[in-house]
Chains A and B, each alone.
Chain A
Amino acid sequence: MSLVLFGISVITFLTMTLAPGDPAEIIMAGQHEGASAEKIAALRKELGLNHPLPIRYLVWLKNVLCGDLGHSFRTGDPVAAEILVRLPTTLTLAFFTFLFAASVSAAGGIVSALFQNRAPDKCHRLWTVLAVSIPDYWLGLMLMLVFSLKLQWFPVAGGSGLRAFILPALTLGLSVSAAEGRVFRASIIEILSQDYVRFAYSKGLTRTAVFIRHVLKPAMLPMISMWGMLLGHLLGGAVVVESVFSLPGLGKLTADAVLNRDMPMIQGTVLTMTLMFVIAGQTADMIYDLLIRHKDFL
């Protein structure tokens, strides 16, 4: 775990530091003042760019641990503050997407597994292949066209309140729910073939009781680790979807930062999102362990 965190910090630091282009020159270029050689040299010294790499890494790490992610090349504002402002938007989006994906995938997986190899299952499987084939950004544009521009049910872009999150969450959730539905289906089918399910029938339990107690609940277990992995996908997808719908979240911030080659900002957002991803994974593992140890939740 700590090794992974160390690895993350090194990778983040190196990719951004080794990027071609002298940060001092970039900053100077952004300020439109006469960028003399002395000024650049002074700035280099101020930024600590003259030290060897390991020292620079340690200084950077110390700052990061103190919550100082540096200042944006473009605006000069502190990166950490900007990220905090954007964070709630992305978290809300992730939450709605999760709700949507979890419910749709659960319903799809159950129906598909119960009607294995029959019409509903075939439809579901076809749907899942289709859903993962449609790119997020195009789906977003289409939804926007139909529901915002034609039907005017939702604000076109930006907008305020929770309504603004519905279309983006649908966009982001579609492919995820399809992928999850497949895993859930496989998990249910695997359990349905277990001897203990048949034995539960032999005890005289009703179909519903057997399905809920002996099939559904164990089938949820693999989904929990899947949900942990999901956040990584959501954060990545947020870059695309937030840009399409102009939602001012972390994803949009990252996308803009990459377009502007605003290295400290990229570094900050990448680090934040990766940490969120790692924490989500750890939480999922913890919940999984907890449930395994106290199986009585069933």
Chain B
Amino acid sequence: MIAGGCLTLLIFILALAGPGIAPRDPLSLDLEHRLQKPDAEYLLGTDHLGRCVLSRILCGAGTSLLSAAAAVSYALLIGIPAGFVAGLGNRVADAVLTRICDAVLAFPFLILALALTAVTGPSLKSLILGVGMAAWAWWARFVRGMVLTAKEKDFVRQGFAMGLSQIRLIRRYILPQILPPLLVSISLSAGRMMVVISSLSYLGFGIQPPAPEWGIMLRESRLYLTSALWLMMAPGIAVSISVLAFNLLGEGLKDWFGVRGSG
């Protein structure tokens, strides 16, 4: 928990400060210093166009984190209200929403995300949109389940019986119950989103070169697999550590709140 929290915080700080502390312009080419091994001047070496890998990693952090955050918030923005409507609304709304969720969840997640990305063509924006659109149904179902469980608790029923308004009930009684598991899932899902988005970027569906992004950097490095190992290690380790941070944070939150097996 502590480790995960600190690591997440550190990564956020690096992502924010990245462009500021980067030693060089991540985009500036320097064809005389192509594929340089890491040394005192270029701490993480240079890539096939002579760009400083360290600077690209630092500047890419923001992109990776932001896009994961955007995809998660996007999914939450649709999923949570939908879950509440299904859980608290009338039967028709519940039935319709549940059917739609069933259909969306019948697709393998990555496949649906990919198909949705394809609709508008490869770009970071469509990738985020696609991933978000594929993920919302999971959240809707998750929130619906939790709301239904929360609603069954005796003191919530009591509240209903006392005639409290819906908004008040949600805020005072239901939200506190579903918040802990929700936070855990958000943290774990942020890690997963980072994997998904960087995977799809690696395949060339996301942000387009020359912008610095970890998935793209790995995509460009694969041609130099044997000759320039550092090109592949740096972004790979960066992604893994960031995902690890979110996962540790999620696990820690889970232990802390005492949430049992979710997600």
Contacts and interface: CB of A to CB of B under 8 A. Distances in A.
Question: A and B: direct contact (Cβ < 8 Å)?
Answer: yes
Interface stretch (B39-47, B51-59, B97-105, B141-149): B97-105
Interface string B230-242: 0010011001110
A235 B108 contact: yes
Interface string B188-215: 0001000100110011110000000001
A135 B225 contact: no
A3 B236 contact: no
A129 B102 contact: no
Contact of B117 (A10, A20, A237, A258): A258
B199 A136 contact: yes
Contacts of A56: none
Contact of A255 (B106, B203, B225, B248): B203
B108 A274 contact: yes
Given A129-B244, A129-B248, A270-B112, A16 B119 contact: yes
Contacts of B81: none
Specify which of B109, B117, B119, B222 lies most central, judged by the most chain A CB atoms within 10 Å of its CB. B119
Specify which of B116, B203, B239 lies most central, judged by the most chain A CB atoms within 10 Å of its CB. B203
A258 B118 contact: yes
A237 B218 contact: no
A133 B191 CA distance: 7
Interface residues of A, number: 53
Contacts of B240: 133-135, 138
A141 B222 contact: yes
Nearest to B205: A258
Contacts of B203: 137, 239-240, 243, 255, 259
A239 B111 contact: yes
Interface string A1-35: 00110111011100110111000000000000000
A118 B72 CA distance: 35
Interface string A103-138: 000000000000000000000000001101111111
A118 B232 CA distance: 36
A274 B111 contact: yes
Given A129-B244, A133-B244, A237 B110 contact: yes
24 contacts: A3-B103, A4-B106, A8-B107, A11-B104, A19-B119, A129-B244, A135-B199, A135-B202, A135-B236, A135-B239, A137-B202, A138-B235, A138-B236, A142-B236, A149-B225, A183-B261, A231-B108, A233-B109, A240-B202, A254-B111, A266-B115, A274-B108, A277-B106, A278-B106
Interface of A: 3-4, 6-8, 10-12, 15-16, 18-20, 129-130, 132-138, 141-142, 144-145, 149, 183, 186, 231-233, 235-237, 239-240, 243, 254-255, 257-259, 261, 263, 266, 269-270, 273-274, 277-278, 281
Interface of B: 99-100, 102-104, 106-112, 114-122, 191, 195, 198-199, 202-205, 215, 218, 222, 225-226, 229, 232, 235-236, 239-241, 243-244, 247-248, 251, 261
Given A7-B104, A144-B225, A232-B109, 7 more contacts: A15-B119, A129-B247, A132-B247, A133-B247, A137-B203, A142-B232, A233-B108
